[in-house]
Amino acid sequence: MSDLFPPFEPEQVESKRARFRAIPFRLIAPNLITLLALCLGLTAMRLVVEGKLESATIFILVAAALDGIDGRLARLLKGTSRFGAELDSLSDFVNFGVATGYVLWIFVLHDLRSFGWIIVLTLACAMALRLARFNVMIDDPNRPDWQKNFFVGMPAPAGAITAMLPLYLHFIGVPVQDYGAPFVGIYILFIAFLTISRIPCYAGKTLGARVPRENVLPIFVAVVVLAGLLFAYPFEMLTLIVVAYLASIPVSVARYRKLEREHAAGQAGPMASPEPVKPSDTD
């Protein structure tokens, strides 16, 4: 009889009703952008097979730009969720680990035969490990606030953008395909190492949080000039951006070490043992 007439459980009824509740669009919008970026990364693999190398490169670059938008949009709309974070990581692995490696394989790494394919596998596995570590560190409650301004290792989108430096050089006339396969392979292994390393890279999450009033107009002009140069000379500018980003890593390391020492000194200050009290004459 208990099977025919189960006891009434209000929680089960409430959970079933929750399935039919409308989901706010602010929770869906960031995930739609993530899926769009995933489609671009997968399409880049098709384009490179069809010989459209430049279009494939642009698709991965746009996917990287969308990856930077979806998270900020989710925080702006207060639509962050665990589902969105996991979807973002899976999309990043496909776009920046699989698609980027495959485009580089078709471009020049296939000249290295099996060793070139091993390099592609190394890049993909490094991206997977880097994203898995990032997901674990999100849940760390003991991480100081100042460390949130730094990535542990090179982030996946930046890793893909920097890994495609040989493509940018090829598009501006450098004969990478003719002579550069071994150098490209070594360079990709270097980028894969940076993604899984613990080298701090500046995240820039607080950049521009407060802008002095006198700097607003110069910033507008600088952005317009930079955008114009990027549209007029896209691959030349991307080459300069990648070189500048790689050159900034030692600066990020120095800044991180300085903040780490200041934080350690601040923690040690209150814990320092007080000076011994001298015994009084009445003791």
Domain locations along the chain: 24-206+214-261
pLDDT at 263: 75
Per the structure block, which two tokens stand in for 82?
A: 């665990």
List phi, psi (to 5°) of 257. -65, -40
DSSP label at 152? E
Instruction: Give, for 202, the enclosing helix (H) or strand (E).
Output: strand 200-202
SS3 at position 207: coil
pLDDT at 279: 44
pLDDT at 137: 75
DSSP label at 150? E
CA distance 4 to 124: 54
Residue whose token pair is 């880097």: 130
**What angle do helix axes 82-92 and 53-76 make, rounded to 10 degrees?**
160
CA distance 127 to 98: 9
- Sort residue 135 into left (φ over 0), alpha (ψ -120 to 50) or beta: alpha
pLDDT at 152: 87
Query: Which CATH superfamily does the domain covering 24-206+214-261 fall into?
Result: CDP-alcohol phosphotransferase transmembrane (TM) domain (1.20.120.1760)
Hey, which residues does 202 pair with through a beta bridge?
150
CA distance 204 to 260: 17
* H runs (alpha helix) in 93-180: 100-107, 114-138, 156-163, 165-171, 176-179
pLDDT at 134: 84
DSSP string computed for 124-138: HHHHHHHHHHHHHHH
pLDDT at 272: 47
pLDDT at 118: 96
pLDDT at 282: 42
Length of the chain: 283
In tens digits, what is the pLDDT along the chain, a chain of 283 residues? Answer: 555 555 545 555 445 555 557 777 777 888 899 999 999 999 999 999 999 999 999 999 999 999 988 888 877 877 777 888 889 999 999 999 999 999 999 999 999 999 999 999 999 999 999 998 888 876 666 777 777 788 888 999 999 999 999 999 999 999 888 888 999 999 999 999 999 999 988 886 655 567 778 778 888 898 899 999 999 999 999 999 999 999 999 999 988 888 888 877 777 655 544 455 444 444 4
